A = this chain, B = another copy of it.
Amino acid sequence: MITDLSKLAARRHEVAQALAAVLPAGCVLAAPEDTRPYECDGLAAYRQMPLVVALPHDEAQVLAVLAVCRGLGVPIVPRGAGTGLSGGAMPIAEGIVLSTARLNRIVRLDATSRTAVVQPGVRNLAISEAAAPHGLYYAPDPSSQIACTIGGNVAENSGGVHCLKYGLTVHNVLRVRVATIDGDIVELGSEAPDAPGLDLLSVFIGSEGMLGIVTEVTVRLVPKALCARVIMASFGDVVTAGNAVAHVIAAGIIPAGLEMMDRTSVSMVEPFVHAGYDLDAAAILLCEADGTVEEVDDEIARMTAVLREAGAGAIAVSTTEAERLRFWSGRKNAFPAAGRISPDYYCMDGTIPRKHLAQVLTGIAQMEVKYGLRCANVFHAGDGNLHPLILFDANRPDELHRAEAFGAEILALCVAVGGTITGEHGVGVEKIDSMCVQFKPTELAAFFAVKKAFDPPMLLNPGKAIPTLHRCAEFGRLRVTNGALPHANLPRF
Chain A residues near B (Cβ < 8 Å): 112-114, 157, 159, 168, 170, 180, 182, 184-188, 190-203, 205-207, 223, 246, 250, 252, 292, 294-295, 298, 351-355, 383-385, 414, 418-424, 426-427, 431, 435, 438-440, 442-447, 449-454, 465-466
Contact B206 A199 (CB under 8 A): yes
Tell me which of B113, B197, B205, B466 contacts A355 (CB under 8 A).
B113
Is the CB–CB distance between B203 and A443 below 8 Å?
no
Instruction: Give the contacting residue for A194; candidates B114, B197, B423, B431; CB below 8 A.
Output: B423
4 nearest interchain CB pairs? A202-B202, A449-B453, A184-B442, A192-B351
Chain B nearest CB, measured from A170 CB (Å): 7
Closest beta carbon of chain B to A419's beta carbon, Å = 4
Copies in the complex: 2
Name which residue of chain B comes closest to A212, CB basis.
B446
Q: Can you report 28 A-B residue pairs in the complex whose CB atoms are below 8 A from each other?
A: A112-B246, A112-B355, A157-B194, A184-B442, A185-B442, A186-B443, A190-B420, A191-B418, A192-B351, A192-B352, A192-B384, A192-B414, A192-B419, A193-B423, A194-B385, A194-B420, A196-B435, A197-B444, A198-B203, A198-B207, A198-B447, A200-B203, A200-B447, A202-B203, A203-B450, A294-B294, A294-B298, A295-B295
A26 to chain B, nearest CB (A): 31
Q: Report the Cα distance A202→B385, complex, angstroms.
A: 21
Q: What B residues does A180 contact at CB under 8 A?
A: 442, 446
- CB-CB nearest in chain B for A190: B420
Q: How far is the CB of A382 from chain B (nearest CB, A)?
A: 9
Contacts A198-B450, A427-B197, A453-B450 hold; do A186 and B246 have CB atoms under 8 A apart? no
In the complex, are the beta carbons of B354 and A113 less than 8 A apart? yes
Q: How far is the CB of A69 from the nearest CB of chain B, in Å?
A: 19
With a cutoff of 8 Å between Cβ atoms, the chain B residues found around residue A114 in the complex are 250
Q: Do A194 and B159 touch across chains, with their CB atoms under 8 A apart?
A: yes
- B442, A196: Cβ atoms under 8 Å? no
A153 → chain B closest CB, angstroms: 13
- Collect the chain B residues with CB atoms within 8 Å of residue A419's CB: 190, 192
| Closest chain B residue, CB of each to CB of A422 | B196
Within the assembled complex, what's the spacing in Å between the Cα atoms of A157 and B199? 10
Q: In the bound complex, what is the Cα–Cα distance between A112 and B418 (angstroms)?
A: 15
Residues of chain B contacted by A466 (CB below 8 angstroms): 197-198
